């Protein structure tokens, strides 16, 4: 049963500290997404990659957030420095996109990282 | 106007009832449509894709109306375990990213 995995599941940190979240997408999926979910904003897309190349990170605060895919089995989302307003659940999702038509298929979510910045 | 709009609810229905949710989307070029389910403090999970001809999966029926740009989800014979938030999801035209609605909360009671 293939799943997206994320670590850590929970993170509590102090303002100003660096936070790194990791995601292992489902093997064979060519697209990886990072989302943030809060009660107020719902699910927001932060960034996504296709075949490890960043396609869109317009939803991400550039000054403190960065997303990378060092290889096909690992995606990372880093916040430096963290702020209390970054407290949220961060989800990674992976999926398949037809490279010709760019028709998107369903995405599968990891369990999320619940981040609390004090 | 939001790209995907849903009534947040909550919809409170008794067990065994039929309940329907609607969702509207703004991008007429959208090609892919889905319903996801999210339980409290869990990740969203795919419930079903929505096809132009409409599709059914057990007690769940999804419909797509391209002319009016809305999607519906019908749940028959509601179970307590159907209590969750239902997210309407649409792809952003020809782009590969999906846009999620804010969800409709369903509470099924005894």
Q: Mean pLDDT, consecutive 10-residue segments, chain B of 110 residues?
A: 89 97 92 93 94 90 94 97 96 75 95
**Distance between B39 CA and the closest CA of chain A, angstroms:** 11
What's phi and psi for B82, nearest 5 deg? -80, -10
Residues A48-93: pLDDT tens digits?
Answer: 998 999 888 888 988 999 999 999 999 999 999 999 999 999 999 9
Contact B105, B13 (CB under 8 A): no
The A residues from 10 to 69 touching B (CB cutoff 8 Å) are: 31, 33, 35, 42-43, 45, 48, 50, 55-56
Phi, psi of B90 (to 5 degrees): -135, 145
pLDDT computed for residue B79 by the predictor: 97
For residue A13 the two structure tokens come to 């940190």
| B69 Rama sector, left if φ>0, alpha if ψ -120 to 50, beta otherwise | left
Give me the residues paired with residue A30 across strands. Answer: none
The yes-or-no verdict on residue A101 having pLDDT over 80 is: no
Whether pLDDT at A44 is above 70: yes
């Amino acid at each position: 049963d293939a799943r997206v995995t994320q670590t850590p599941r929970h993170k509590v940190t102090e303002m100003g500290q660096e936070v790194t979240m990791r995601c292992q997408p489902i093997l064979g999926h060519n697209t990886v997404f990072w989302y943030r979910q809060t009660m107020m904003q719902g699910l927001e897309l932060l960034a996504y990659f296709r075949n490890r190349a960043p396609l869109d990170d317009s939803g991400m605060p550039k000054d403190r957030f960065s997303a990378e895919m060092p290889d096909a089995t690992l995606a990372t989302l880093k916040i430096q420095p963290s702020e209390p307003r970054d407290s949220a659940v961060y989800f990674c999702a992976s999926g398949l996109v037809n490279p010709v038509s760019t028709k998107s298929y369903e995405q599968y979510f990891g369990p999320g990282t619940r981040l609390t910045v004090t | 106007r939001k790209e995907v709009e849903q009534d947040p609810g909550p919809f409170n229905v008794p067990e065994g009832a039929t309940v329907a949710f609607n969702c509207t989307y703004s991008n007429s070029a959208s090609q892919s449509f889905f319903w996801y389910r999210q339980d409290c403090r869990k990740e969203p999970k795919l419930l079903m894709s929505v096809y132009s001809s409409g599709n059914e999966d057990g007690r769940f029926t999804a419909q797509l109306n391209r002319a009016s740009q809305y999607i519906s989800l019908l749940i028959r014979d509601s179970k307590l375990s159907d209590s969750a938030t239902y997210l309407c999801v649409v792809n952003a035209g020809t782009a590969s990213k999906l846009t999620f609605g804010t969800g409709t909360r369903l509470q099924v009671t005894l």
